[in-house]
Chain A
Amino acid sequence: MTAQLIINGLVLSLTIALMSAGMTLIFGILRVVNFAHGEFYMFGAVIAFFAMNRAGMGYVEASIVAIATVGLLGWVANRLVFRRFHGKLIEGCIAAIALSIGFQQVGWIIFGPHQQILTSPLTGSVEIFGAIVTMDRLLIIGVALVVILGLAWLIRYTKLGRSMRAVQQDSEAALTLGISVNRVAGLTFGIATALAALAGTLVGTVYTVHPVMGMLPLTFAFIVIIVGGMGSVMGAFIAAFIIGFQHSLTSTFWGPQFALGLSLGVAILMLIFRPRGLMGHA
């Protein structure tokens, strides 16, 4: 029971960590809340589904194709739309909402109202501390953990990561130091949307793929970036674990219908008592 709880909590925490890390990066760089993030997640799963079932690719190749395509799409979306809304919170939100409406409709048109599932490359299950864990869940945990550690390394130690942090702290000062804010923003957008697509392809093996699958993770990502502090990737990781386990515990002991409401309640309390979140700066 306990082990099962931990595994479920981990799966949820890690997938929402992938989503919210991207959203919080975008917010940090461009000061825009990307409402279309859930649609990039959905596109990841949908493209992987088509690559597997129409082009006959394996799961791994299909995922790579999906992640690369969505990353490129994110870069283009930034280039054409988001770049113009740097620092304009509300206008940026509305532009993102417009993209979200349009993308979701594209999802309906190309995918239809079906619910499909991605075939996981790993089948069967193993027993860990008395809990029966299916291999597809273990795959999610493994891949997400590696990617999250990789992202933390990228932000902490690479030149790109330093540029990202510089732009986040003060984009004009970064510009005077010779950092191309537009280039950093484009790369950030590409990385963030690729992370969302990765989350989509991973979750698509456990839950169903459909055009509105992005709404719930988007809601989670909102909660997580509130609790973690907007713009802070570390805060987003910590908050993703808090919210993921809270959700898992509430669903098990109280009922799944209350879990989301309680998460939002946590977010409201956080905003009332510590508006900048766990790790955010004012």
Chain B
Amino acid sequence: MLKLMSRRGLNWVIPTVIGGSLLLALPWFGRAYYTHIFILIFLNIILAMSYRLLYVTGLVSFCHVTFYAIGAYTSAILAMKLGLPFGICFLVGGIAAAAAAAFLILVTSRARGAYFFLISFSFLGVMNTVFMQWRGMTGGASGITSIPPIMGFTTVTPYFYIILAFTAVTIFVMYLLYRSRFGSELMAIGEAEDLAEVIGIDVLRHRMVAAAIGALFAGFAGSLFAHYEGFIAPTSFPMWTTIYILSWCVIGGVRKFWGPIVGAVLMTAISEYGRMMGAMQAIFYAAVLLAVIMAMPNGIVGLVDTLRTRFGRRQYLGGDTKLGAGPPPVVDE
């Protein structure tokens, strides 16, 4: 066991250290454009990770971008109208998004499946109308300009480190949640809601907490985005973003912890690479999305796991795992 642990540990440590240092050094040798792309990827990772939390409980929402937008608008409005420092704007932005999410789950507690999907779509539409029409606060269609930068930074590099650090914090928190009893209970609700209720899991409260934590991080990401870009408008948060978030999760494999990250990184890179292809970009993106959803119903990470249990060394058969016998069941939806 010790041998296995150390070898596996080494296998992970070296690529992580190399990859991590390359990532940290990126702003110093890459062009500012690439740094910007990486910042977008980080924000997308946060969005995908936070979206996953409610998704695994069986509620697929269509309005994650709205929580992102609520965070961005709240933070920007506080900074502009009241002149509050970034830290307070950031916190309040996240909390506002979390409150909105908890409220949405509470009032729609009777809606399931397709109905929740469409109700969250309606919520997205209503909030878009609010952002467009509440001109005194949100600036309407022209949005809010010259939002004060974080601690006066005006170049890309500091934002790269700030947002990278926050992404790391997000992944760490999500990992703790994933490993916790609460995380398992969320998965249990998604697997069999009635059964979970029978064994004493408060389904509604769990979903509210999951949605609130997810929206909290989406709101934080929105706040970072607003102060990084310096400009937000309803067009910064189009309906498509929510579709992209959903597709990253599904492409990567939403039931696996690393799935949303893989999906977000891969698809953001593909769509940025695709910019060079001009008109074919959207068709390429659509083709990749369709191919993945048709060929790999459990996403990329799900497929890799399946292949590893099928063709890899039978490490699960050894006596040194808790499972004891046989490979773990592959969740087939």
Residues in chain B near residue A90, CB distance under 8 A: 60, 117, 246, 250
Secondary structure call for the B interface: helix
- Whether B84 sits at the interface, judged by CB under 8 Å, is no
> Is A264 a contact partner of B286 (Cβ separation < 8 A)?
no
Measured CB to CB, the closest approach of chain A to B107, in angstroms, equals 6
> In the complex, are the beta carbons of A102 and B287 less than 8 A apart?
yes
Chain B interface, number of residues (Cβ within 8 angstroms): 40
Q: Confirm or deny: A105 has a beta carbon within 8 angstroms of a beta carbon on chain B.
A: yes
B129 at the interface (CB under 8 A from A): yes
Which one of A81, A106, A223, A271 lies within 8 Å of B108 (CB-CB)? A271
List the A side residues contacting B287 at CB < 8 Å. Answer: 98, 102
Contact A275-B111, Cβ < 8 Å, known A104-B282, A261-B125, A267-B119: yes
* Residue of chain A at shortest CB distance from B125: A264
The answer to whether the Cβ of A93 comes within 8 Å of any Cβ in the partner chain is yes
Which A residues touch B293, using CB under 8 A?
Answer: 91, 94-95, 98
Do B111 and A264 touch across chains, with their CB atoms under 8 A apart?
no
Report the separation of the CA atoms of residues A95 and B293 in the bound assembly, to the nearest whole angstrom: 7
Whether, in the assembled complex, A226 has its beta carbon less than 8 Å from a beta carbon of chain B, the answer is yes
Interface bits A242-256 vs B (CB < 8 Å: 1, else 0): 000000000000000
Asked whether, in the complex, the Cβ of A271 is within 8 Å of the Cβ of B290, the reply is no
Which of these, B117, B129, B286, contacts A258 with CB under 8 Å?
B129
Q: List the B side residues contacting A275 at CB < 8 Å.
A: 110-112, 115
| Given A81-B290, A98-B293, residue A260 in contact with residue B110 (CB < 8 A) | no
The CA of A116 and the CA of B282, in the complex, are separated in Å by: 23
A75 at the interface (CB under 8 A from B): no
Q: Which residues of B contact A207 (CB under 8 A)?
A: none
Find the B residue at minimum CB distance from A231. Answer: B114
The reply to whether B117 and A257 form a contact with Cβ atoms under 8 Å apart is no
B129 engages A264 (CB within 8 Å): yes
User: How many angstroms between the C-alpha atoms of A223 and B129 in the bound complex?
Assistant: 15
CB <8 Å contact, B132 and A226:
no
Please give, as numbers and ranges, the residues of chain B lying within 8 Å of A260 by CB-CB distance.
125, 129
Distance A109 CA – B132 CA, assembled complex (angstroms): 30
B60, B121, B126: the one contacting A265 at CB < 8 Å is: B126
Asked if A7 lies at the interface with its beta carbon under 8 angstroms from chain B, I say no
Residues of B contacting A27 in the complex (Cβ-Cβ under 8 angstroms): 114
B279 within 8 A of A: yes
Least CB distance, A101 to chain B, in whole angstroms: 4
In the complex, per-residue mask of A148-171: 1 if CB is within 8 Å of any chain B CB, else 0: 000000000000000000000000
Q: Please indicate the chain A residues that have their CB under 8 angstroms from the CB of B123 in the complex.
A: 264, 268
Which positions in B face A, CB cutoff 8 Å? 60, 107-108, 110-115, 117-119, 121-123, 125-126, 128-130, 132-133, 243, 246-247, 250, 279-283, 285-287, 289-290, 293-294, 297, 333
Contacts beyond the supplied A219-B125, A264-B125: 15 A-B pairs with Cβ under 8 Å: A27-B114, A33-B117, A84-B294, A89-B60, A97-B289, A98-B289, A99-B290, A101-B285, A226-B122, A261-B126, A261-B130, A264-B122, A265-B122, A268-B126, A272-B108
